[in-house]
């Protein structure tokens, strides 16, 4: 089977979630990559180093600069001609573009796969991860998004892919990029961090969140996350949210502080290797999934923990 993986990149390097998609694609067959962007040659060179890749198709055009789905989807649908499956990381950008490609190809997309069970059979979460469905596609071509935490990341070196320039239809004239407000964060990215410290509504307000969660995270060189309740209450911006409707994470260690453990939140972090929960309510559902639990008042426990590390 020939597969094409759409690469998410920042023009210089390949984003981690793509590496997981490459691993999933390799389970299906040969893997080529598509790097679409403007001035993205360095990203294509980096992509060619990924272990096991064949060709790296580079579509360099101003129209592809911000991954606008209206422009990128026809490019990918055109290239899909020569492939049996097209895979995307299930990031916000991947989720934006992939269904548009699927519809252009008249294919029913398989979203957020967790495993490859056969050439056309996959598992995927439904009902916020409360059930896992095994589905088999009857489409001639496959369009798939890959949950990053479910697959190992492919190695970023050792590959010897060849970069080949391709072109598409360019600007569809339907949409334009106005701007982005991306959070400036000195800390590791949530989706690739080894340790995450997450805070919940029990933190009371934004200031308390800053004063308690951030120093602990800094001590551990950890990323900072939050529950939906904490985000909705305005303690931290939305890009901190871990959960079914936020980011799906699976770090080595996840420390949940003042998070009760709503289904919504658990769906986003229950694949973490070790879960540590700090909560004053000993019956909080978070303790049912935690490897290590500490029942206590976070306002005294967290500063003590931070000082003793």
Partner 1 sequence: MKILVPVKRVIDYNVKPRVKADGTGVDLSNVKMSMNPFDEIAVEEAIRLKEAGKAEEIVAISVGPAKAQETLRTALAMGADRAILVESDAEVEPLAVAKILKGIVAEENPGLVILGKQAIDDDSNQTGQMLAALLGRPQGTFASKVEIDGDAVSVTREVDGGLETVKLTLPAIVTTDLRLNEPRYASLPNIMKAKKKPLDTKGPADYGVDIAPRLKTLKVAEPAVRQAGIKVPDVDTLVNKLKDMGIAN
Shortest Cβ 240–partner 1 spacing (Å): 10
Give the nearest distance from C-beta 292 to partner 1 in angstroms: 6
| Interaction of residue 84 with partner 1, rule CB under 8 A | no
In the bound complex, what is the minimum distance in angstroms from residue 31's beta carbon to partner 1? 23
- Residue 293 as a binder of partner 1 (CB under 8 A): the answer is yes
**What is the size of the binding site for partner 1 (CB under 8 A)?**
86
Instruction: Indicate the residue among 109 and 198 with the shorter CB distance to partner 1.
Output: 109
301 binds partner 1 (CB under 8 A): yes
Q: Based on C-alpha coordinates, what's the Rg of the chain? A: 21
> Quick one: CA torsion of 139, 145, 151, 154, rounded to 10 degrees?
100
Q: In terms of C-beta density within 10 A (0-12 exposed, 13-18 middle, 19 or more buried), how is residue 178 classed?
A: exposed
Of 92 and 160, nearer to partner 1 (C-beta) is 92
* Torsion angle of the four alpha carbons 71, 22, 141, 55, in this order, in degrees rounded to the nearest 10: 70
Q: Nearer to partner 1 by C-beta: 26 or 231? A: 231
> Of 30 and 84, which has the nearer Cβ to partner 1?
84
Residue placing its CB nearer to partner 1 in the complex, 53 or 97:
97
Minimum CB–partner distance for residue 43 and partner 1 (Å): 16
Binding mask 154-183 for partner 1 (x = CB under 8 A): ------------------xxxxxxxxxxxx
- Cα-based distances in Å from 123 to 91, 136, 149: 18, 9, 14
Q: Is 65 in the site for partner 1 (CB under 8 A)?
A: no
42-57 burial by CB neighbour count: b if 16+ within 10 A, else e?
A: ebbbbbbbbbbbbbbb
Q: Among residue numbers 244 through 263, which ones bind partner 1 (CB under 8 A)?
A: 244-245, 247, 253, 263
* Rounded Cα–Cα distance for residues 110 and 124 (Å): 8
Q: Which is nearer to partner 1, 96 or 211 (CB)?
A: 96
The one among 91, 149, 198, 260 contacting partner 1 by CB under 8 A: 91
Strand partners, 223: 196
Nearer to partner 1, 53 or 266 (CB): 266
C-alpha triplet 79, 81, 107: angle, nearest 5°? 100
Question: Nearer Cβ to partner 1, position 81 or 183?
Answer: 183
**113 and 145 Cβ atoms separated by less than 8 Å:** yes
Identify the DSSP state of 47.
Answer: H
Two structure tokens written together for 28? 């299906």
Alpha-carbon dihedral angle through residues 190, 193, 194, 198, given to the nearest 10 degrees: -30
CB of 60 to partner 1, least distance (A): 21
Beta bridge partners of 125: 132
Touching partner 1, residues 187-226 (CB under 8 A): 191, 195, 220
d(CA 212, CA 210): 6
**Residue of the chain from 131, 157, 186, 283 that contacts partner 1 (CB under 8 A):** 131
By CB under 8 A, residue 186 contacts partner 1: no
Token pair for residue 226?
């939050």
In whole angstroms, what is the distance from residue 208 CA to residue 298 CA?
11
Give the shortest CB-287-to-partner 1 separation in angstroms.
6
Shortest Å distance, C-beta 136 to partner 1: 5
């Amino acid at each position: 089977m020939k597969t094409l993986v759409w690469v998410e990149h920042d023009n210089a390097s390949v984003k981690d979630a793509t590496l997981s998609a490459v691993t999933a694609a390799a389970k299906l067959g040969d893997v080529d990559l598509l790097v679409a962007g403007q001035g993205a040659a360095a990203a294509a060179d980096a992509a060619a180093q990924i272990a096991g890749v064949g060709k790296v198709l580079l579509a360099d055009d101003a129209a592809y600069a911000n991954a606008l789905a209206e422009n990128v989807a026809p490019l990918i649908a055109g290239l899909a001609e020569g492939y049996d499956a097209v895979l995307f990381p299930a990031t916000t950008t991947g989720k934006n573009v992939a269904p548009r490609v699927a519809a252009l190809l008249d294919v029913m997309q398989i979203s957020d796969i967790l495993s490859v069970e056969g050439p056309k059979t996959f598992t995927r979460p439904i009902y916020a991860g409360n059930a896992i469905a095994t589905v088999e596609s009857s489409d001639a071509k496959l369009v798939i998004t890959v949950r990053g935490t479910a697959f190992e990341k492919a190695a970023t070196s050792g590959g010897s892919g060849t970069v080949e320039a391709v072109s598409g239809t360019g600007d569809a004239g339907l949409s334009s990029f106005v701007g982005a407000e991306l959070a400036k964060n000195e800390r590791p990215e949530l989706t690739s961090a080894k340790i995450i410290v997450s805070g919940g509504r029990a933190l009371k307000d934004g200031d308390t969140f800053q004063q308690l969660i951030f120093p602990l995270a800094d001590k551990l060189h950890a990323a900072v996350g939050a529950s939906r309740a904490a985000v909705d209450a305005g303690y931290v911006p939305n890009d901190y949210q871990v959960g079914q409707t936020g980011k799906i994470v699976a770090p080595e260690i996840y420390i949940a502080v003042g998070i009760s453990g709503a289904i919504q939140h658990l769906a986003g972090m229950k694949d973490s290797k070790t879960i540590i929960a700090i909560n004053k309510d000993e019956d909080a559902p978070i303790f049912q999934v935690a490897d290590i639990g500490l029942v206590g008042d976070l306002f005294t426990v967290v500063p003590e923990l931070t000082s003793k590390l």
